[in-house]
Structure 1
């Protein structure tokens, strides 16, 4: 894997150290997460974040273990880091960091206090909400080491304040059970029990969200490290009937072995592919009902069908997980209703509110069978896929239907935003895209051909599917090219002067990246013209992927910043989306254009924001600062897939 290592100049400078985040997932949707410098900048940061019934319904438990070194001289040196509502950052342990490494996906810190060097590493026990933190004396000593346990128990999207009840603590041998929910265990436990008030989260403030909370100081662990190699270890785990976890050093060793096996099973071609293979592993989880699913992004997203299906090939087929992918495709197929795939929202409700999630599902099944040769799965799911086609021909929810006039797919009702550009501000879609969106129809045409191929493999008549495909593809070629040289983003959109459903329509020729799918999919309706693709790239391409709107387009927003309304307004109006590098690279290959240089910026990005991973979004204007989730499934999956 690529080396991710920072020395004292990065670790000791607050902005640099706080702007780089690490993630250690538990395989269930929970995680440990923080920054290089140890400063918690998000309300989502914590050492034990536990998944609930869905990956999105997480609870923050153990927030931090703040080390303090007691030297023989009597000096007490604090190595933690907190920012307070006053603006103070205290303590400032990051200034004593001499090194941070991400090794096999696990973070490791080294603090130097004179001749005393303390190392910390942590891991999650795979498949269980269990954290292990190991502190080791590297040089110097003897010294005493204290670990102050700051705790909470709250929804990951919120905060807890001292004006509510204190946390319930039950003293047990070697530690405590907090709120009856999770347990802390380690040597020299001394209970405390009072509030630390006014902890500040700078990233939440920048996002226009509540930025302060109070933490419960539960107590401290303490031990003497006499000689190099001595350790002080702490375990924290969700309190459940399962046996107590193994020692912390064994948890770290087991996690390291597993991560190496994950990388090896992906058979990476180079160190970047190896890094991406491990990054992909974070998103593939087992939910509390043991089903395979995909977390769309950390730290705040859960499972979304569109994201899952766009990510499918990269996460499962490029990483040696086809057996898990097979299980996932079968479970998602069981959610089909009226020809639409369920979109399990982060609220926990099952909703049917995308026009493209189901079409991406057709693509994922087709790619699974093509790549693996698993025709048994194709045969099993073929009836469900044919029902999807029939439901779209007949018409289904939200006005989704095949237009009998041209065989293209139309969609949209007032207030709905059904494509992947689905941001809303005060309930109103920013980019409603009613009518016949370009990528939706490219996916529809691709899906018809894919289902026809599966039908032929199963020995069934596919003539009707081929006729549907050919008609839609011809209509696409007739309707979508623009005089400007690229493709319309939407055709037959309601004219601005008419309400949705009015008699007048127009064709939207804004330069957006959605047209890339018309050239990139396996059964794409068009072969890309190199000059056309060059014009698209000139308007959209950045080092971190294509923009969602050309800078000369009306409403272009070059910065994805501010409060929720400001950010959502910019979300698809110029913000960069790294996942689109996949379609852009595929289209470039088909056009005979070189692709290797397309990935240089994203490869360098692996050490810039979410360490070892790829962000959800970035600013549309230079220097294209990363925004959104630091760890995003489809961004990782498409880079991994497209690099080949």
Structure 2
């Protein structure tokens, strides 16, 4: 039995804290110890329950059995036939939780620090709840976020405390269209379309109207049909670090992935409008204008890829351009798509994802380590991001017509994650990795969109 002794062990050294800029020296508190006497060849089982609940009506053995039964049911529902996929299904389950304010499901962005973020949720959505065939959870997540759309913006994040959501994001709302579109592609029943028409469609129209005029955080549409966003100290794309008055990755203007997503959203709205026989708000006409402007203004002939931001042309080679290739509705011709993939492979591909900046760039940061200020300066300036393997593999396979050679290569790129899931946070995929030696994981020990995107592309390439 447990015997409280309330021991303190002083001056314990923690390497994980030292590498993040702290001394790494702390005190270790042990409120209990468990002593079990075992005779030779004897087998004993015991459990320890750590909880904040006042009353527990189950034994540890009962709880373990319930969990295993539940996980096995999820694995059976997903229908995969290998350990890697099954482990990804298990990992996906960790992020799908209840949101008390809506009484519906949501997705936590990462452990141990993040709550539910709009952008992360919508990017992770397909992998976590569609590839696993958790369609009821998918509906709840879409409805949960619809309740918080404000001035055409999906929340950037829900804070820990009982405070209002923050809305400083331009891409969460645009990824919401993609999540809706993919939900219907995976389900496609009349009741699913009815759910979108009755619960979600008006919110999509609200987002469109807000973006096609102007809304908060300097988000709006220019005369060329393209979306601009951000000003001053605002950071509204996923490359969002600000340290005091230092905007580390200023992407004010017209970011490339935002306008690829905008074109995607317009194409989706045209399909839904026709399906639901709704008012024609000229989605198709506007999408053609956006496509024309995008091709004229974003192509960087010198580097054979896309500018990261226009109108003050930012020619840094970053991974954001890949979404112009990987999203369902193609905005570029195949030759330009192939050049983007080739450039990205050369400058950005790293074992466990893609670097956030070309390793040849003079501002490239090769390690994410040290005190917070130093880490923030590296976060989007070369650090490798696990979730970016998703759009890269999709783009790579697309430009190679999903031929046998491309599928084999894609499977090789994915296979390393199976090994990674035995390191660090067991059965998880880290948020980020160093830019130079990407085998070293950093940031959140397990991240929703890292798991989601690996599972999504696994699902995609195993169709072939």
Regarding TM over 0.5, the answer is yes
Contact 1:528 1:587 in 2 (8 A): no
CA pair 521-201 structure 1, distance change in 2 beyond 3 A: same
Partner of 1:171: none
Partner of 1:202: 15
Higher helix share: 2
Contact 2:106 2:144 in 1 (8 A): no
2:295 to 467, 470, 477: 477
Partner of 1:245: 57
**Once structures 1 and 2 are overlaid, which stretch shifts more, 578-587 or 200-209?**
200-209
Q: Report the Cα distance in structure 1 between the residues aligned to 2:124 and 2:340, rounded to whole angstroms.
A: 27
Partner of 2:449: 634
| Pairs within 5 Å for 1:221-232 | 221-226=34-39, 228-232=42-46
Partner of 2:310: 491
For residue 627 of structure 1, report the CA deviation from its aligned partner: 1.3
1:402 to 199, 215, 221: 221
For residue 291 of structure 1, report the CA deviation from its aligned partner: 3.0
Contact 2:352 2:438 in 1 (8 A): no
Q: Report the Cα distance in structure 1 between the residues aligned to 2:107 and 2:216, rounded to whole angstroms.
A: 25
Secondary structure at 1:196's aligned position in 2?
A: strand
For residue 390 of structure 1, report the CA deviation from its aligned partner: 0.4
CA pair 301-362 structure 1, distance change in 2 beyond 3 A: same
CA pair 364-463 structure 1, distance change in 2 beyond 3 A: same
Q: Report the Cα distance in structure 2 between the residues aligned to 1:287 and 1:463, rounded to whole angstroms.
A: 34
Contact 1:314 1:641 in 2 (8 A): yes
Contact 1:378 1:454 in 2 (8 A): no
Whether 2:401 is the aligned partner of 1:582: answer no
1:566 to 374, 378, 386: 374
**Once structures 1 and 2 are overlaid, which stretch shifts more, 279-288 or 437-446?**
279-288
Partner of 1:135: none
Whether 2:274 is the aligned partner of 1:451: answer no
Contiguous gaps of at least 5 residues in structure 2? 460-464
Partner of 2:462: none
Offset from partner CA, 1:604-627 (integer Å, 9 cap, x none): 322233222211111111354211
Secondary structure at 1:204's aligned position in 2?
A: helix
User: Larger C-alpha radius of gyration, 1 or 2?
Assistant: 1
| Pairs within 5 Å for 1:231-630 | 231-240=45-54, 243-289=55-101, 290-348=103-161, 349=163, 350-373=165-188, 374-380=192-198, 381-403=200-222, 405-462=223-280, 464-483=282-301, 484-492=303-311, 506-529=312-335, 530-592=338-400, 594=406, 595-630=410-445
Contact 1:339 1:391 in 2 (8 A): yes
Offset from partner CA, 1:384-404 (integer Å, 9 cap, x none): 10111001112001110000x
Secondary structure at 2:425's aligned position in 1?
A: coil
For residue 221 of structure 1, report the CA deviation from its aligned partner: 4.1
Secondary structure at 1:195's aligned position in 2?
A: strand
Secondary structure at 1:224's aligned position in 2?
A: coil
For residue 223 of structure 1, report the CA deviation from its aligned partner: 4.4
**Once structures 1 and 2 are overlaid, which stretch shifts more, 555-564 or 339-348?**
339-348
Q: Report the Cα distance in structure 2 between the residues aligned to 1:439 and 1:264, rounded to whole angstroms.
A: 36
For residue 587 of structure 1, report the CA deviation from its aligned partner: 1.2
Contact 2:349 2:355 in 1 (8 A): yes
Contact 2:233 2:242 in 1 (8 A): no
Contact 2:146 2:154 in 1 (8 A): yes
For residue 210 of structure 1, report the CA deviation from its aligned partner: 6.3
Q: Report the Cα distance in structure 2 between the residues aligned to 1:325 and 1:627, rounded to whole angstroms.
A: 29
Q: Report the Cα distance in structure 1 between the residues aligned to 2:166 and 2:34, rounded to whole angstroms.
A: 46
Offset from partner CA, 1:453-496 (integer Å, 9 cap, x none): 1121112244611111111111111111111210110011xxxx
| Pairs within 5 Å for 1:113-152 | none
Q: Report the Cα distance in structure 1 between the residues aligned to 2:226 and 2:438, rounded to whole angstroms.
A: 39
Secondary structure at 2:122's aligned position in 1?
A: helix
RMSD between aligned alpha carbons?
Answer: 1.9
Taking structure 1 as the reference length, what is the TM-score of the superposition? 0.66
Q: Report the Cα distance in structure 2 between the residues aligned to 1:210 and 1:298, rounded to whole angstroms.
A: 23
Secondary structure at 2:121's aligned position in 1?
A: helix
Contact 1:276 1:636 in 2 (8 A): yes
Q: Report the Cα distance in structure 2 between the residues aligned to 1:262 and 1:200, rounded to whole angstroms.
A: 40
Contact 1:199 1:212 in 2 (8 A): yes
Q: Report the Cα distance in structure 2 between the residues aligned to 1:466 and 1:214, rounded to whole angstroms.
A: 63
Secondary structure at 2:384's aligned position in 1?
A: coil
Q: Report the Cα distance in structure 2 between the residues aligned to 1:280 and 1:514, rounded to whole angstroms.
A: 24
Q: Report the Cα distance in structure 2 between the residues aligned to 1:445 and 1:415, rounded to whole angstroms.
A: 27
Secondary structure at 1:440's aligned position in 2?
A: helix
For residue 556 of structure 1, report the CA deviation from its aligned partner: 0.5
Q: Report the Cα distance in structure 1 between the residues aligned to 2:229 and 2:34, rounded to whole angstroms.
A: 59
Q: Report the Cα distance in structure 2 between the residues aligned to 1:452 and 1:366, rounded to whole angstroms.
A: 12
Contact 2:351 2:438 in 1 (8 A): no
Q: Report the Cα distance in structure 1 between the residues aligned to 2:379 and 2:119, rounded to whole angstroms.
A: 17
Q: Report the Cα distance in structure 2 between the residues aligned to 1:630 and 1:218, rounded to whole angstroms.
A: 26
Higher strand share: 1
Offset from partner CA, 1:125-144 (integer Å, 9 cap, x none): xxxxxxxxxxxxxxxxxxxx
CA pair 600-218 structure 1, distance change in 2 beyond 3 A: closer
> Higher relative contact order at CA 8 Å, sep ≥6: structure 1 or structure 2?
2
Q: Report the Cα distance in structure 2 between the residues aligned to 1:604 and 1:210, rounded to whole angstroms.
A: 31
Offset from partner CA, 1:586-605 (integer Å, 9 cap, x none): 11122116133332333332
Contact 1:517 1:524 in 2 (8 A): no
Contiguous gaps of at least 5 residues in structure 1? 1-186, 493-505
Offset from partner CA, 1:211-263 (integer Å, 9 cap, x none): 444444434444433452223333222133xx523222222222222222222
For residue 370 of structure 1, report the CA deviation from its aligned partner: 2.1
